[in-house]
A and B are shown apart, each in its own frame.
Chain A
Amino acid sequence: MNYIEHIGKYFLMLSRVFRKPQRSKVFYQAFMKEVEDLGLKSLGIIMFISFFIGGVIALQTALNLDNPFIPKSLVGFAAKRSIILEFAPTFCSIILAGKVGSYITSSIGTMRVTEQIDALEVMGINSLNHLVLPKILAAVFFYPFLISLGMFLGIFGGWTAGVLSGLFNGLDYIEGIQLDFKPFLLFYAIVKTLVFAFLIATVPSYHGYYVKGGSIAVGRASTQSVVWTTILIVIANYFLTQMLLT
């Protein structure tokens, strides 16, 4: 199957996903379960990575800005910009593509190969709407919170690293964070997060839903879904940056 066919099939899938749920109560329960599976269960890794990467960004910046004419507050400024613009929305989304994407593909793919999706269809349930829409809404609803938390912890990690290493003063760092603050940059980060959340929920769902074969095929589809989600996040990142920041 060529790329054009995959793209067409992906959009046909979306047209079946975006229908009114058959039972709102069942849908709400599925949505809350996905918030837990896709969002809450990713809190730990996002918090951990954000804190330490924020620290590394601040240390690297401080070590490279050793000119006495450059104010030390620039470390906080550079760390804040890097974290808000790229690290939190893009880097965290790529991590989520790996963690959540493989989970989505393998869970839906296993349902496909064990005929659970056929069972839903035979009952008269729109299986795509039932399985994929709660995932999309959960990701789009929860990831902005997750990424915002990543931003905060990244910046906090930078401050902690600076204070513990003695490479820069905590007050200089805080001054740098407040320097030239543009709320639009947060809007830009959230827009990117929403697009990435949509990709993280739909691309792995596509790979899982149309898997053919057995457990090996499911494993292969999981790998492919992570690769393609990452590629699409990187491409979308480029175009969004060009559209929103230039």
Chain B
Amino acid sequence: MIEVKDLHKGFGDVKVLKGISATFHPGKTNLIIGQSGSGKTVFLKSLIGLHTPEKGTISFDGRINTQFTQDQKQQWRQEIGMVFQGSALFDSQTVEDNVMFPLKMFTTKSEDEMLERVNFVLNRVNLENSNKKLPAELSGGMQKRVAIARAIVMNPKYLFCDEPNSGLDPRTAIVIDNLIQEITDEYKITTVINTHDMNSVMEIGEKIVFLENGKKAWEGTSDDMFKTDNEAVVSFVYSSNLFKKVREAYLRETK
């Protein structure tokens, strides 16, 4: 479980996060949504330790990350898997080497054992027979799947995804969404996803946190989202006619 309390972060005079508190439970896909510039990426980067908060705490199963010793921090880092928006695969390495990289750096497994694990996770993300390909030879969706494979190869307790669907066609986006949800459920990972893809929100959002101007403006499930009267959420989520109609239909059916 990840607990965030009163998180503040700014850059110079610009205050980006203004006291966000939230709890993310294991085995659930937790979504952070909000407009561009609402602080989603800074929030996610603070969770994974790329930004140091100015105020507030982030605890991982009761362990506060800013109080870690060097060894504890190293250990915690290995419990984290991260899928970056642009996949962030190492260009010069093959798919196999990319996925094997954390194993080479942090385990004492033999080459065969590492290869077995790599093949297992690549199989899990439905990417067989791509071991020797370079990232540039893969489609956007395949690159995302390699990134997910690399993120889960160390059996993480926490999985973070920054806009996992950006740049993907709707069908591939659903495949990626479902894959993340299945992995979350299967391995009981605490997953936090940063997105503004409303299809993802409706499809896999077990808990949704809506950010506005660096503050938490709303939180709930995707069902709650249909029922909410929160103006900020309604104007953001139901800005398209399609989602407006979906909401109207949902409300009619549940009356």
Question: Bound pair: A and B?
Answer: yes
Listed in ascending order, the chain A residues whose CB lies under 8 Å from chain B are: 22-23, 25-26, 110-111, 114-116, 118-119, 121-125
For residue B172, CB closer than 8 A to chain A, the reply is no
* Contact in complex: A122, B102 (CB < 8 Å): no
0/1 per residue, B102-135, Cβ < 8 Å to A? 1011100000000000000000000000000000
Cross-chain contact A23 with B85 (CB below 8 angstroms): no
Bound-state Cα–Cα, A246 to B250, Å: 88
With contacts A115-B84, A115-B86 known, is A110 near B91, CB below 8 A? yes
- Specify which of B48, B101, B105 is in contact with A122 (CB 8 Å cutoff): B48
The residues of B with any CB-CB pair to A shorter than 8 Å are 45, 48-50, 73-74, 77-78, 80, 82, 84-86, 88-91, 101-102, 104-106
A125 with B50: CB separation less than 8 A:
no
Main secondary structure of the interface of A (DSSP, over half): helix
List 4 additional contacts besides A114-B91, A118-B88, A121-B50; criterion CB under 8 Å. A26-B104, A110-B91, A116-B88, A123-B105
Residues of A within 8 A of B74 (CB): 124
B104 touches A122 (CB 8 A): no
- Give the distance to chain B from A168, nearest Cβ to Cβ, in Å: 49
Taking the nearest CB of chain A, how far is it from the CB of B87, in angstroms?
A: 8
Q: Given A114-B88, A124-B73, A124-B74 in contact, is the A119-B82 Cβ separation under 8 Å?
A: yes
| 25 interchain pairs, CB-CB under 8 A | A22-B105, A23-B104, A25-B104, A26-B105, A110-B91, A111-B91, A114-B88, A114-B91, A115-B85, A115-B88, A116-B89, A118-B45, A118-B50, A118-B88, A119-B84, A119-B90, A121-B50, A122-B48, A122-B50, A122-B82, A123-B101, A123-B106, A124-B74, A124-B106, A125-B105
The docked-state distance in angstroms from the alpha carbon of A119 to that of B45 is: 11
- Say whether A123 contacts B86, CB under 8 Å: no
Question: Which residues of the partner chain B approach A118 to less than 8 Å between Cβ atoms?
Answer: 45, 50, 84, 88
How far, in whole Å, are A125 and B102 apart by their CA atoms in the complex?
Answer: 9
**Pick the contact of B77 from A23, A111, A114, A122 — CB < 8 Å?**
A122
Closest to B83 in A: A119
Q: Once bound together, how far apart are the Cα atoms of A115 and B77, in whole Å?
A: 17
Chain A neighbourhood of B48, CB < 8 A: 122
Residues from chain A with a CB closer than 8 A to the CB of B84 are: 115, 118-119
Q: Which of B78, B88, B89, B91 has the most CB of A within 10 A?
A: B88
